[in-house]
Amino acid sequence: MAVELKVPPLGESITEAVVGKWNKKQGESVSADEPLVVLETDKVTIDVPSPAAGSIASIAFKEGDKVRVGDVLGTIEAGAGAAASPAAAAATPAPAQAAAPVASAPAQAGSDARITPTAKKMAEENRVDVGQLKGSGTGGRIMKEDVQGQLNRPAAAPSAPPAPAAPSGPRPNAAREERVRMTPLRKRVAERLLQAQSNAALLTTFNEVDMGEVMALRKKYNDKFQAKHGVKLGFMSFFIRASVEALKAFPQINAEIDGEDVIFKHYYDIGVAVSGSRGLVVPVVRDADKLSLADLEKTVGDYGGRARNDKLTMSDLTGGTFTITNGGIFGSMLSTPILNPPQTGILGMHNIVERPVARDGQVVIRPIMYIALTYDHRLVDGREAVQFLVRVKECIEDPERLLLDI
C-alpha cells in the first residue's frame, strides 16, 4: 500500500518552502519516522519523517523545488518485512485527525484549553479577536507569540515586501562565474534589512566598556561556576542582564510603534544572534529578567547548538523585544547593527582589545570593548540612547550592580 509523504504545516503564516535535501533515494528502504527530506523556510529548516516503514516508491519534487503546505513530496510503499509497518500504517491517519481540531480552533479559541493564560491576558488587554488566530503551539494551541504577531500585523501591512531584482541579463564573464539561487533564509534576511532601513529612522550611538572587572570575575569563579551549573560563565549572560537593567530604566527602547500608538512591553524577551548552518539567526531568550546567569548561559548555549544542527523551531525565533548581536567573536572592532523590526533597539558587542586609556591621570593598558546601540529615532531620543549605553557600561564595569540590583 502506498502512503503519501506530504508537506506538513510550517507555522505561522508560512505556506511555502524549498526542498533542501533528500536523505534517501527512490527505491531505498526507510523506517517509520525516519527523516526523509529537509525543507527550508525563510526562518527554519524542517525534517519531514517517513509516515510508514517500507521503501520510497516515488519522489515528486527534487532538491531546490518550491513546495506548499499539503503538497505530496512522494510516496512510501509499505514493506511487509518491516515490523514497524502495521503500527505506522495505523498511525498514518493521526495527522489528518489532529488537523481537524486545529482547523476548528477559531470556534473554540476562546476556551482556556485552546489558549495559554499569558496569550489570553495579552489578547484581552489589546482587544485581539483570538477567533481569527491560528495557534502555533501543540495541537494548535494559541501562544503569546501568535497574539503578538497579530498585534504587529497592522504596522507591517502598509509596506509590501520589496520586489526581487531583475536578472542583469547576459554577462560578459559568465563562463568564469557561478550563479547560485538565494536560500529562503537569505532572501528573508534581505527583505527584513530593507524593511528596517525603509520604515525606521535608524541612528547608532557608541560607547566603550572596560571589561577588566568581568574578566577578573570569570577567571576567579569560572571553574566553580562550571562545576555547579555544567556550563561556562561567558560574557553574553552579563550583557543580557545589563541590557535588561537598561531597558527597565529606558522603556522606550523595549517598545514598538504600532500605527499611531506606542506599545510599551513590560516583559523582556531578548533575541540573541547566533550562527546557524545557513546563516545568522536570532532565537529569543524568554523572560530574561527572571533568569540567573547560569540559566542565561544554558539557554544561549542550547540555542547555539540547535542553530548549528537546524533544530530551532518557529516559536524560538519570534516575539523578541530587544536584540543583542556579538560581532566580536568574528573579530569585529566596530559596527552599526541594523534593527530587527518591529523592535526599537539592538545592541552590538565587539572584540576585546587591550588599549591605552587614562586612569587617574595615568596611561594604563585595559581590555576595552566598543559597544553600539542602533535605535529608531522616531521613538527614542538621543539622550535616552546615550544613557542606555551608559547604564550598560556601568553594569559591566561594576558587575556587583547586577547582583545588588542598583
Q: Is 6 exposed, middle or buried (0-12, 13-18, 19+ CB in 10 A)?
A: middle
Complete DSSP assignment for 299-358: HHHHHHHHHHTT---GGGGS--SEEEEEGGGGT-S-------TT-SEEEEE--EEEEEEE
Q: For residues 130 and 142, is the Cβ–Cβ distance under 8 A?
A: yes
Backbone angles phi, psi at 295, to 5 degrees: -65, -40
Q: Which residue has the cell 489558549?
A: 115
Active-site residue among 33, 258, 295, 377?
377
Which of 215, 254, 155 lies closest to 352 in space, CA to CA? 215
Beta bridge partners of 5: 74
Beta strands 72-78 and 202-210: pairing type? unpaired
Query: How many whole angstroms separate alpha carbon 20 and alpha carbon 96?
Result: 25
Query: Which residues lie below 8 Å from residue 196, measured CB to CB, with a gap of 6+?
Result: 202, 338, 339, 340, 341
DSSP 234: -
Active site residue 377: yes
Query: How many whole angstroms separate alpha carbon 54 and alpha carbon 195?
Result: 47
Residue 281 is which amino acid? Answer: V
DSSP 6: E
Active-site residue among 146, 381, 398, 405?
381
Beta bridge partners of 354: 367
Other Cβ atoms within 10 Å of 319 Cβ, number: 20
Cα angle vertex 15, ends 56, 38, to 5°?
35
Query: How many whole angstroms separate alpha carbon 251 and alpha carbon 74?
Result: 51
Other Cβ atoms within 10 Å of 110 Cβ, number: 14
Beta strands 345-349 and 322-326: pairing type? parallel
Handedness of CA 78, 83, 84, 89 (dihedral sign): positive
Residue 110 is which amino acid? Answer: G
Catalytically active residues are 377, 381
